[in-house]
Amino acid sequence: MWILHKIFSRISKINLLQATGLALSLILISSFTMRIAEPENFPRFIDALWWTMTTLVTVGYGDFFPKSDFGRIFTMLLIYTFGIGAMGVIIGKIFESLSVYRKLKEEGKLTYSGKGHYILIGSSREKLENVLGEIISSGQKCDIIVVDHAERAPFEHDRLHFISGNPAEEEVLLKANILAAKSVAIFSDDRNDHPEYADGKSLLIASRVEHLSQKYNKSIYTIVEIKKDTHISLFEHANVDEFILSNDSISKLMAQAAINHGSSKLFRQLLSNADGDNLYEITKKPHWATYKDAAVELFDTGATLISDGRSLDLAKRHTELIPEKAKLYVICDEETYLKINR
């Protein structure tokens, strides 16, 4: 019993790579042994290898089998001493590795190595579900990485990956592969009722993102949710690309709906990719000289040009020349958008 305990103790410490190496060695040694011992019954090495594999998994098709006493004794030893035990260890180690991987993924301890993903920092579950739904409905195929102090992922989804840790730390952001991300969205802390403290936390994270951008000479597109508009100037020093005013935006939408009845439906349609016309970004076509040229052609196509990415006053500036690298925004349906791109 002591010897068995010692053997099982050693086997339990073997990792998946070692178990796989032992199994491959066993398969090769057994195949070469039978090939040398009974060349007439195993004319090719592939025949001996086939016999070894079917014997180890106890299938035994019977198309190849040993006929000598040595071969039969070797087969019995292979099946009962090595076959069942070795395959059991490998299968056990595979399931153990899958369980460990799943546990580490749920706890956010795995490093993400993909590219072209979106990173969400400090998002509540409700906001996260909304963002995930919008990205999926827009046709994006990339993953979403959530970085948060929590100990487990907020919920499970095939496109969702979780990184646990302080998002203001360089190591945590690098685990999310921030340098290869499409954009980083920093949400305001809903648990903090003081705008100064909530925005201060967001500013700390945004500053860390900017530090990584400069350190690795990588352009990282950053969007930050801000609770107080007077704090925007502070975030501009961190080179934040876009700002979303959380409470202020809601108040203005409520005011617009009160003054202009039905306007909230238009805003809701623009903010969602679920149905109807949506907001799309397009590039300047070579034959468009002025904004008027672009607007007229787009209107005939079924799209409305509303902005150059900076302002909504294109109607006043219709005679201005369009910069070559201008980002133009139009409102149309998906079919029209694809037609414009073609």
Q: Same structural domain for residues 60 and 167? A: no
The per-residue pLDDT for range 136-181, each reduced to its tens digit, is: 777 778 898 999 888 888 888 888 899 999 999 999 999 999 999 9
User: Is 292 domain-assigned?
Assistant: yes
Asked if residues 165 and 147 have their Cβ atoms less than 8 Å apart, the reply is yes
Q: Same structural domain for residues 138 and 189? A: yes
User: Is 266 domain-assigned?
Assistant: no
- All residue ranges of the chain with pLDDT < 50 are 1-2, 4-5, 7-8
Q: What's the distance, Cα to Cα, between the start and end of the chain in Å? A: 75
User: Is 211 domain-assigned?
Assistant: yes
Q: Same structural domain for residues 234 and 181? A: yes
Instruction: Provide the 10 A C-beta neighbour count for residue 269.
Output: 16
Q: Same structural domain for residues 86 and 130? A: no
Alpha carbons 255 and 252: distance in angstroms, whole number: 5
CATH code, domain carrying 208: 3.40.50.720
What predicted TM-score, i.e. pTM, was given to this entire model? 0.61
Q: Same structural domain for residues 316 and 214? A: no
pLDDT for res 4: 41
Which pair of structure tokens corresponds to residue 133?
A: 């739904």
Beta strand spans in the chain (E): 118-121, 144-148, 160-164, 183-186, 222-226, 242-245, 278-283, 304-307, 327-332
User: Is 325 domain-assigned?
Assistant: yes
Question: Pick from 231, 249, 267: which residue ends a domain?
Answer: 249
The residue among 308, 252, 259 whose CA lies nearest residue 284 is 308
Residue 44 Cα distances to 51, 109, 300, angstroms: 11, 48, 73
Domain assignment of residue 81, given as a range: 2-97
Question: Pick from 68, 97, 126: which residue ends a domain?
Answer: 97
User: Is 109 domain-assigned?
Assistant: no
Strands 144-148 and 160-164: parallel
Task: Provide the number of structural domains found in the chain.
Answer: 3
pLDDT for res 1: 44
User: Is 136 domain-assigned?
Assistant: yes
Helices (H), 77-160: 84-106, 125-137
pLDDT for res 269: 67
Q: Same structural domain for residues 165 and 210? A: yes
Alpha carbons 144 and 337: distance in angstroms, whole number: 25
CATH code, domain carrying 81: 1.10.287.70
Asked if residues 172 and 166 have their Cβ atoms less than 8 Å apart, the reply is yes
